[in-house]
């Protein structure tokens, strides 16, 4: 009887140790996998200032976000227009229509910058400083 009880305890201990080791091994694999997938922190988005002569007309950030106009919001407010590949803040009301027309012709930030340069705007890349 005692031998049977010891045999049971030994078997139970071995089972628990084996399952604990299996759990530890699977946990090691689970924690090791994300480490292999980790990448460097994302760089802040690129930012450009657009000039027309000596006038700053637009600030662009290379990430999806709002398009901010110099025009006052409609009565009662409303949500900001969200753009799929950039965010921008207009600075000069007289340039907004042309800036918008060029944006509507573009499918990427790079293409928009090309259109702006082609229309005579000066595009100045800024440092990758985080936005505040």
pTM for the whole structure: 0.64
pLDDT tens digit string along 49-63? 999 999 999 999 999
Domain boundaries defined on the chain? 1-38, 47-125
Render pLDDT for 65-90 as a digit per residue (tens, 0 to 9).
Answer: 999 999 888 888 888 879 999 999 99
Q: What is the distance between the alpha carbons of residues 22 and 110, in angstroms, rounded to a whole number?
A: 51
DSSP strand pairing (47-52 vs 55-61): antiparallel
């Amino acid at each position: 009887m005692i031998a049977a009880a010891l045999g049971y305890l030994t078997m139970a201990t071995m089972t628990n140790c084996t399952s604990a080791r299996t759990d530890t091994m699977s946990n090691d694999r689970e924690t090791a996998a994300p480490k292999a997938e980790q990448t460097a922190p994302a760089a802040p988005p690129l930012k450009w200032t657009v000039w027309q002569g000596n006038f700053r007309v637009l600030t662009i950030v290379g990430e999806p976000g709002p398009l901010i106009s110099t025009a006052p919001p409609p009565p009662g407010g409303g949500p900001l227009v969200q753009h799929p590949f950039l965010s921008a803040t207009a600075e000069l009301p007289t340039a907004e229509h042309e800036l918008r027309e060029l944006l509507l012709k573009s499918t990427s930030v790079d293409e928009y910058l090309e259109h702006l340069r082609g229309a005579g705007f000066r595009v100045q890349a800024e440092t990758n400083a985080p936005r505040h």
